[in-house]
Amino acid sequence: MLRKHLTAIDGFVLYTTSVLGLGLIVLPSIAARLAGPWSIAIWVALAGISYPMARVMSELGRRYPSASGVTEFISHGLGKEIGQLTGVLYLTAIFVGAPATALFFSEYLTKLMALSHCSQVLVAYCFLVALIGINLADVEMTMRIQRYTFLGFLGLVTLGILLSFSHIDPVRFTDINGVTPSHILETTLICFFAFVGWENAAFSGEEFHDPNDMVKALGASVAVVGVLFTLLSVAIVGVLPRATLTSSNASISDLLRVSIGAHAECISAVAAITIIFIMMISWVRGASRLVFGLARDGVFPSWLSEVDPRTHTPRRALLALGCIWGLSLLLFWVCGFRVDDYLKLASANFLTTYVIIILASWRMLVHESFKIQLTLSSLALVIIVIGGYQALWYPAAVAILFLGGRRMIPALTH
């Protein structure tokens, strides 16, 4: 049995760290390059649109608190099989998404020390193993590490952004040369994925003292994420010249170079490594709870649902994740894949799970006061699906294998 130890503050940390990550490091620069000053409006709009989607997820997580997270409430809305399929889609997204993020970690580490390509892959796996080790520790100690590291990081990044405001050139806010409607649409699609992750806290639902704390934490988390992305986009558009935006995606690094100077690259590398570390603690935690929940529901072997009586962690589920991530990085290295390939596949699966979540939400919440949230969420997802259809073969293949396998096994046993 998982220990109930999480508070509203912990919920805020889990929500916020699940969303802030690679998006904070690279996406604001890409958005400013494509859409110029319009990128600021895009970030504000997406922050507003992400709230209804996050609110729906937090409400269902509050009603059905479970380590299975989204799988649990989708099972209530669309049936157990679809719920379990969603869990598998989520795990196969993490199968490629976590190694891709770890590879970004090792890439930033090369700014501090020289690493070959092979060494970067090895460092990425060691990073994942270290995260598993942290999550194997007592759950309350792990949460304390994440809480204080994140709050300190949040304060420092906010200070760095505000210091760069003294270098803003107001003329840059009116420079829209070369920006077309297609650029604005493309930027919207790219920036949307900076707000993916609100569902991750639901996997810790049964560990909250009071499930209502999930909803309480959400409002503060959405506000902080929205304000941070908006401040960062204002600083990038107002401070960085077009030449810098054309040649670099390093949002925080470029800003620090202007406001701090000589040691900016080293400081930004440390900042990037820190935010990836904080984000991945949450994702590893969520993934392990999902494996635990699916094993408890009979999708995976039951021995994966055992909880360490001393630390109250799903130890075997965490160790299983270490094995599958090792396989994923081995495939990456042997087959010569690019990090972009893994990110696209992960994004396609996350997008598919969001579609299923909103479909289940329409069925479960449509008669209550959530119609506006559901409508806005649905419209946003339609736009994203249209823009990202080329990578949807991956979730389709996962669904076919999972559903086909479930039907084939009973047929073979009779």
The per-residue pLDDT for range 126-182, each reduced to its tens digit, is 999 999 998 888 878 888 888 888 888 888 788 878 888 888 889 888 888 877 887
Span 273-296, average pLDDT: 86
What pLDDT, on a 0 to 100 scale, did the predictor assign at position 414? 39
Task: Yes or no: say if 18 and 200 are a contact pair by the CB < 8 Å rule.
Answer: yes
Characterise 378 by phi-psi region: left (phi > 0), alpha (psi -120 to 50), beta (else): alpha
Percent of the chain whose predicted confidence (pLDDT) is above 90 = 9
130-144, 189-203, 342-356, 365-379: the lowest-pLDDT one? 189-203
Phi, psi (rounded to 5 degrees) for 179: -85, 125
Distance CA 139, CA 27 (A): 32
Instruction: Tell me if residue 339 falls in helix, strand or coil.
Output: helix
Span 195-243, pLDDT tens digits: 777 777 777 777 887 878 888 888 888 888 888 888 888 998 888 888 8
SS3 13: helix
Going from N- to C-terminal start, the domains of the chain cover 8-413
Superfamily of domain 8-413: Amino acid/polyamine transporter I (1.20.1740.10)
pLDDT confidence of residue 263: 67
Contacts 24+ apart (CB under 8 A), 317-322: 317/288, 317/289, 317/291, 317/292, 318/132, 318/135, 318/136, 318/284, 318/288, 319/132, 320/291, 321/98, 321/132, 321/284, 321/287, 321/288, 321/291, 322/128, 322/129, 322/132
* Nearest-5° Cα angle at 75, 73 to 81: 150
With H, G, I as helix, E, B as strand and everything else as coil, classify residue 263. coil
Enclosing H/E stretch for 177: none
pLDDT of 412 reads: 42
Note whether 191 and 46 are within 8 A (CB). yes
pLDDT at 146: 82
Torsion from C-alpha of 167, 168, 169, 171, nearest 10 degrees: 170
Q: Which residue has the tokens 């992960």?
A: 346
Q: Are 87 and 304 in contact (CB under 8 A)?
A: no
pLDDT band per the 50, 70, 90 thresholds, residue 261: low
Please tell me whether residue 175 adopts helix, strand or coil conformation.
coil
Q: What is the DSSP string of 360-401?
A: HHHHHHTTTTTHHHHHHHHHHHHHHHHHTGGGTHHHHHHHHH
281 pLDDT more than 70: yes
DSSP state of 96: H
Copy the structure tokens of residue 309: 């009586």
Assign 209 to helix, strand or coil.
coil
The phi-psi region of residue 54 (left if phi > 0; otherwise alpha if psi is between -120 and 50; otherwise beta) is alpha
